[in-house]
């Protein structure tokens, strides 16, 4: 088939990345079938429960130079911002070693930041356009995000990361203690320094947003199959079908956008990629009367706080325990306690039973960059997963890149930093 020819594309996964990919493939004239065992935007989905930030400045990988010294603490403190369950340590160790090595020098971190900036730079604008097409413009807000610190000295501990952000084009405004108070009157006065990144945005209901985009894809002709993909039929280097629990779906192209559950699918094609779940928790306080005026991240709690359509959400924490381990809801309780500490006006209104709690699986690659590219066995299968903490914000441009790969047209940004082959 020549570039620009219409193809039948099976997209595995109906999360943010898969759903935007479906829309963009439809836009380029392809026939689309989306395969997922659960409905788009449902509570099972990682995109449902994330923090809602459209943080175009989230370009720094989670690891940092010298982080290996903190690993014993990750093992000993099961309720810290990042923890590793002892029972899971042997399985996660190879990934963890790569994770630490990928950010062992500032040069390597800046390399990742430059790549991620190309993926994220105008994401709030792209999402605003998608939301308008789906008739849910109210779900995307573009009024910046706020980072708060106990004091300037605490900010200086992050200064290297912010300097790299500036190098790749991120700008921000600094706030004094008085300016923080004026902007956020409900915030505890211990926070005396802040940064506003005005280019960033916020989604008020990630699950509802993805569901609305999926409805738009259906209206434009996408078919949805409620089943689980299990593999691929490849003959003489060409894809002929995606196999599912309910039989085969004949197709010309396939997209693996199954988030943290993509690993088995890539392995079936001979690509054993180092994908891991960074388990994340959130709590929601319905009808909270106090909270941030601007979507906010507290540096000391490593937690993002936003007013969402369903209430006040606090999201954060990283736990390595795999896909099948039972939740440790004490981690959600820690988020609740941090939330009340940040906003003392919540005290007395939040009981142990008040918050709604949730656990999801961030699909993460060890170097902090997603996999966007083709399988080794056949270029007819495209990988689009591993976005870690930036799945929602990164989905807008990733979907466009997927459609360009499907169509055989030049990608709009360099894909070498995201090539899955970097691990193979």
Q: What pLDDT does residue 65 have?
A: 85
Q: What pLDDT does residue 1 have?
A: 46
Q: What pLDDT does residue 146 have?
A: 97
The answer to whether the beta carbons of residues 335 and 315 sit under 8 Å apart is: yes
Q: What pLDDT does residue 76 have?
A: 77
Q: What pLDDT does residue 373 have?
A: 98
Distances in whole angstroms, Cα of residue 418 to Cα of each of 93, 367, 401: 23, 10, 11
Q: Which residues pair with 363 in a beta bridge?
A: 277
Q: What pLDDT does residue 350 have?
A: 79
Mean per-residue pLDDT pooled into runs of 10, the chain (424 residues): 79 98 98 97 90 95 86 81 92 95 95 98 97 98 96 93 97 97 97 97 97 98 98 97 98 98 97 97 91 94 93 92 95 91 89 83 97 98 97 98 98 98 94
Task: Output the DSSP codes for 250-307.
Answer: E-SEEEE--GGG-HHHHHTTT-----EEEEEEEEEETT-S---SS-EEETTTTEEEEE
Q: What pLDDT does residue 367 have?
A: 97
Strands annotated E in 137-287: 140-141, 145-149, 173-175, 193-197, 201-203, 223-225, 229-235, 238-244, 247-250, 253-256, 276-285
Distances in whole angstroms, Cα of residue 252 to Cα of each of 193, 242, 255, 365: 54, 9, 11, 27
CA angle (301, 291, 394) in 5-degree steps: 65
Q: What pLDDT does residue 197 have?
A: 98
Domains of the chain: 8-49+208-273+367-423 (3.50.50.60), 65-112+140-199+276-364 (3.30.9.10)
233: which residues sit within 8 A by CB, 6+ positions away? 239, 240, 241, 242, 243, 248
111: tokens are 């390399």
């Amino acid at each position: 088939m020549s570039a620009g020819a219409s193809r039948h594309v099976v997209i595995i996964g109906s999360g943010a990345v898969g759903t935007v990919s479906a829309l963009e493939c439809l836009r380029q004239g392809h026939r689309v079938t989306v395969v997922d065992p659960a409905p788009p935007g449902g509570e099972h989905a990682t995109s449902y429960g994330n923090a809602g930030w459209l943080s175009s400045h989230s370009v720094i990988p989670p690891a940092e130079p010298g982080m290996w010294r903190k690993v014993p603490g990750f093992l000993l403190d099961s309720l810290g911002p990042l923890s590793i369950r002892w029972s899971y340590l042997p399985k996660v160790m190879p990934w963890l070693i790569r994770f630490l090595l990928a950010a062992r020098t500032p040069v390597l971190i800046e390399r990742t930041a430059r790549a991620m900036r190309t993926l994220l730079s105008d994401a709030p604008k792209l999402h605003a356009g998608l939301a308008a097409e789906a008739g849910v413009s109210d779900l995307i807000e573009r009024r910046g995000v706020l980072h708060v610190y106990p004091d300037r000295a605490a900010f200086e501990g992050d200064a290297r990361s912010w300097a790299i952000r500036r190098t790749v084009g991120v700008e921000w405004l600094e706030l004094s203690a008085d300016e923080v108070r004026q902007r956020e009157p409900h915030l505890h006065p211990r926070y005396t320094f802040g940064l506003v990144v005005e280019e960033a945005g916020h989604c008020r209901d990630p699950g509802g947003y993805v569901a609305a985009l999926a409805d738009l894809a259906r209206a434009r002709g996408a078919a949805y199959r409620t089943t689980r993909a299990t593999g691929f039929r490849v003959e003489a280097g060409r894809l002929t079908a995606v196999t599912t629990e309910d039989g085969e779906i004949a197709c010309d192209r396939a997209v693996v956008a199954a988030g943290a559950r993509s690993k088995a699918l890539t392995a079936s094609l001979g690509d054993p990629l180092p994908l891991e779940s960074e388990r994340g928790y959130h709590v929601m306080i319905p009808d909270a009367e106090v909270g941030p005026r601007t979507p906010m991240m507290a540096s000391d709690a490593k937690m993002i706080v936003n007013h969402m359509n369903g209430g006040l959400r606090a999201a954060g924490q990283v736990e390595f325990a795999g896909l099948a381990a039972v939740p440790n809801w004490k981690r959600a309780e820690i988020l609740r306690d941090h939330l009340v500490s940040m906003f003392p006006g919540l005290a007395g209104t939040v009981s142990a039973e008040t918050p709604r709690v949730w656990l999801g699986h961030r699909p993460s690659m060890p170097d902090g960059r997603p996999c966007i590219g083709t399988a080794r066995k056949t270029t007819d299968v495209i990988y689009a997963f591993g976005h870690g903490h930036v799945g929602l914000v990164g989905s807008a441009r990733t979907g466009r890149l997927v459609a360009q790969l499907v169509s055989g047209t030049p990608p709009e940004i360099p894909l070498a930093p995201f090539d899955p082959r970097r691990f193979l």
